[in-house]
């Protein structure tokens, strides 16, 4: 910046500049004080500026202009636009005073002059380039009803522009990569003619042929995305809706579908609800620890509580509150918790240390009209650090007088506070604990029935089988729903035969259960190649000989050669034997030492000997 400033002093000052607009036989002349359009990212909406000074550098090749920038309505962020206090005209422009933009532009990036009409309030320009009279007409009619004064608008717009953007730095990099454009259409031609009439008399002409611009083409540096919005592109065709009963059932049974109510967790719901509600009403803080094995509805229940409380706050039954949620698994480092809390509370971005300091200040200082905050910390065990300061802070803040913070923590193990927390942390967590028991088969059945909500897709027995099976294994509701979903698919496939009722029956559920819970080891051994099967037999034979559950490859290989001879096969070479062994190791039928040990690597079985023998005998 400094350098270019110095150049401008050295350079030859010009009082006017002529540029040629493509497709026009004549050159357009620009003089100081005139408003111009400058090429930007958006072809249809170029930047607007007023020329303050024109100059060329020593060599006389590069012509530059010092400009005063203006911003369009569309460039002002919506949050700042509100400060204006009135509806801006779509073609209105605002005075820009941000320091972040270079006010020097190359002459070749100037598109053409433009007429700006100063309205009663601010500066305005006609950009659509209709005929001059009609423009004036539009502007005056738009401005007629406005009553705020000029000074205010200018100030506000300055404010708006200051923190919002850096369009000129972007524009600068872009203009350097500019390529000559195609012939403008007829409309532009008419318009430029109109402005030529308006432009100041020519004093000295320096014409810049467009073709010479190509020499200055340099590779542009890509922009750093600052305000990238996280989003997945939306689909071009809408998603298809479920067409039949089974598809409908499948949609309802997907874990992601939010149920109308949460059955079987009424007691827990009530406890959490009253705990949080009382804290919010009293304006105090507190901690609660919720534990339970995966898939027992911990997070779902808390979310349900929050939905109800939010509703209560909306109808003014309880004071309004903030709800924020963090998850130990969804951050890369425990200290990121501070960053995420701060961002969700205030929208600020900060480093972990800074965020911790800001939060500390926020929760320890008194402030008028402060809302309560409810913080849900999921997967608490992941926030463990050696000094445990993240956990310590999370549980310490609610005890502060002015904090008004309620912390709900969720983890899988019941004795987590005793096991991993040091005394001062565990003591601050307090004794408000709750544990979610795994679902019993009756509860699971009720959950499925309530989700299906009168969609008749399952036979009663089939439902009972699923819930009993899952309850016996884990009591995980997710598993239960997944099995039911798979069963509907199997049912759909088998519905081709006429005897089927169209409902999901016992056989379908059995098939789904088998698919999900049976181990593939035995089938894998049955499907292995002959040499692989022989090798497994050799392993067992060697184990029996040694009386140990471990042998080196060399030892097993001797047995393998013997077995080959017994079976009447050509003995295999060591390399081939090793390859067979590696294949079995890759699918974890065998456990192996690293393969660089070659013939010395030790071998163990990953399946029981009985299973291997059973699988081999069955052929």
Site for another protein in 548-567 (CB under 8 A): 554, 557, 561
Stretch that binds another protein, among 9-17, 110-118, 211-219, 584-592 (CB under 8 A): 584-592
Which tokens hold the place of 382? 């992941």
For residue 169, which phi and psi values (nearest 5 degrees)? -65, -35
Instruction: Examine residue 527 and tell whether it contacts another protein (CB under 8 A).
Output: yes
Choose, by CB under 8 A, the member of 295, 297, 417, 505 that binds another protein: 295
User: For residue 213, which phi and psi values (nearest 5 degrees)?
Assistant: -65, -25
Query: Can you tell me the distance from the alpha carbon of 186 to that of 194, in angstroms, rounded to the nearest whole number?
Result: 13
Phi first, then psi: give them for residue 35, nearest 5 degrees. -90, 140
Q: Does 514 bind another protein (CB under 8 A)?
A: no
For tokens 């019941």, name the residue: 414
Q: Please report whether residue 515 would count as binding another protein according to CB under 8 A.
A: yes
Which residue, among 589, 576, 596, 581, has the nearest Cα to 616 in the 3D structure? 589
* Helix 574-586 with 530-546: angle, nearest 10 deg: 90
**CB of residue 269 to another protein, shortest distance in Å:** 20
Q: Which of residues 411-470 bind another protein (CB under 8 A)?
A: 412
**Sign of CA pseudo-dihedral 37, 38, 42, 43:** positive
237 touches another protein (CB under 8 A): yes
C-beta closer to another protein: residue 7 or 611: 611
Closest by alpha carbon to 94, among 110, 116, 66, 64?
Answer: 116
Instruction: Specify the residue, 5 or 571, whose C-beta has the smaller distance to another protein.
Output: 571
Helix (H) or strand (E) holding 287, with range, is strand 286-292
Of the residues 25, 238, 347, 594, which one makes contact with another protein according to CB under 8 A: 238
308, 312, 540, 599: residue in contact with another protein (rule CB under 8 A): 599
Looking at 144, 315, 329, 496, which residue binds another protein (CB under 8 A)?
Answer: 329
551-552 and 590-592: which strand pairing? unpaired
Rounded to the nearest whole angstrom, what is the least distance from the CB of residue 237 to another protein in the complex?
6
**CA 606 to CA 521: how far, in whole Å?**
9
Position 239 contacts another protein (CB under 8 A): yes
User: Does 386 sit near another protein (CB under 8 A)?
Assistant: no
- Collapse the DSSP code of 166 into the 3-class scheme (helix H, G, I; strand E, B; otherwise coil) and give the result: coil
The answer to the question of residue 236 lying near another protein (CB under 8 A) is yes
237 and 279 Cβ atoms separated by less than 8 Å: no
Rule CB under 8 A: is residue 494 a binding residue for another protein? no
- Which residue in the set 583, 602, 613, 616 belongs to the binding site for another protein (CB under 8 A)? 583
Judged by CB under 8 A, does residue 338 bind another protein?
no
Closer to another protein by CB, 240 or 454: give it: 240
Number of residues that bind another protein (CB under 8 A): 87
For residue 210, how many C-alpha atoms fall within 13 Å in the half-sphere facing its CB?
18
For the CB of residue 362, give the shortest distance to another protein in the complex, in Å. Answer: 21
Stretch that binds another protein, among 167-175, 270-278, 389-397, 587-595 (CB under 8 A): 587-595
Residue 161, both tokens: 């522009």
Contact pattern for another protein over residues 245 through 274, marking x by CB under 8 A: --x--xx--xxxxx----------------
Considering only the stretches 137-145, 235-243, 266-274, 499-507, report the one whose residues sit in contact with another protein under the rule CB under 8 A: 235-243
Q: Which strand (E) or helix (H) includes residue 330?
A: none
């Amino acid at each position: 910046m400094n350098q270019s400033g110095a150049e401008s002093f050295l350079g030859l000052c010009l009082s006017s500049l002529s540029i040629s607009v493509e497709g026009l036989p004549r050159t357009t002349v620009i003089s100081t004080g005139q408003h111009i359009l400058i090429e930007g990212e958006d072809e249809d909406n170029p930047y607007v500026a007023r020329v303050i000074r024109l100059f060329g550098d020593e060599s006389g090749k590069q012509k530059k202009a010092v400009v005063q920038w203006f911003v369009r309505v569309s460039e002002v962020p919506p949050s700042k636009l509100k400060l204006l206090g009135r509806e801006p005209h779509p073609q209105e422009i605002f005075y820009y005073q941000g320091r972040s933009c270079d006010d020097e532009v190359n002459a070749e990036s100037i598109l053409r002059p433009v007429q700006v009409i100063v309205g009663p309030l601010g500066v305005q320009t006609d950009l659509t380039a209709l005929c001059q009279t009609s423009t004036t007409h539009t502007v005056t009619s738009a401005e007629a009803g406005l009553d705020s004064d000029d000074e205010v608008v200018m100030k506000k717009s300055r404010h708006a522009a200051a923190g919002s953007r850096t369009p000129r730095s972007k524009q600068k990099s872009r203009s350097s990569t500019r390529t000559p454009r195609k012939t403008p259409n007829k409309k532009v031609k008419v318009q430029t003619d109109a402005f030529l009439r308006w432009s100041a008399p020519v004093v000295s002409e320096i014409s810049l042929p467009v073709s010479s611009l190509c020499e200055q083409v340099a590779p542009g540096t890509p922009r750093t995305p600052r305000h990238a919005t996280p989003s997945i592109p939306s689909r071009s065709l809408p998603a298809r809706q479920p067409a039949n009963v089974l598809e409908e059932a499948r949609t309802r049974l997907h874990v992601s579908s939010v149920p109308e109510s949460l059955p079987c967790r009424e007691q827990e719901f009530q406890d959490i609800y009253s705990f949080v509600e009382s804290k919010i009403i009293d304006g105090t803080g507190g901690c609660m620890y919720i534990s339970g094995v995966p898939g027992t509805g911990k997070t779902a229940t808390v979310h349900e509580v929050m939905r109800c409380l939010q509703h209560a706050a909306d109808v003014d039954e309880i004071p309004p509150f903030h709800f924020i949620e963090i998850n130990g698994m969804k951050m890369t480092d425990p200290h990121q918790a501070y960053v995420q809390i701060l961002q969700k509370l205030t929208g600020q971005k900060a480093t972990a240390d800074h965020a911790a300091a800001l939060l500390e200040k926020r929760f320890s200082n008194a402030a008028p009209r402060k809302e309560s905050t409810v913080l849900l910390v999921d997967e608490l065990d992941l926030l463990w650090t050696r000094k445990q300061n993240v956990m310590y802070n999370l549980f310490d803040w609610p005890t502060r007088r002015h904090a008004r913070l309620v912390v709900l923590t969720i983890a899988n193990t019941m004795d987590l506070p005793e096991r991993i927390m040091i005394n001062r942390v565990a003591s601050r967590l307090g004794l408000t604990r709750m544990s979610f028991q795994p679902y019993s088969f009756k509860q699971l059945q009720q959950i499925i029935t309530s989700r299906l909500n009168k969609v008749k897709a399952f036979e009663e027995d089939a439902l009972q089988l699923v819930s009993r099976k899952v309850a016996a294994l884990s009591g995980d509701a997710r598993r239960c729903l997944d099995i039911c979903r798979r069963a509907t698919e199997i049912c759909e496939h088998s519905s081709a035969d006429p005897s089927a009722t169209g409902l999901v029956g016992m056989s379908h559920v059995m098939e789904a259960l088998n698919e999900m819970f049976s181990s593939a080891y035995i089938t894998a051994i049955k499907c292995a190649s002959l040499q692989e099967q022989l090798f497994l037999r050799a392993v067992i034979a060697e184990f029996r000989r040694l009386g140990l559950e471990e042998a080196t490859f060399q030892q097993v290989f001797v047995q393998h050669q013997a077995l080959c001879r017994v079976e009447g096969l050509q003995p295999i070479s060591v390399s081939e034997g090793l390859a067979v062994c590696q294949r079995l190791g890759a699918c974890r039928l065998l456990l192996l030492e690293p393969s660089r040990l070659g013939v010395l690597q030790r071998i163990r079985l990953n399946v029981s000997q009985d299973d291997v023998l059973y699988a081999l005998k069955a052929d």
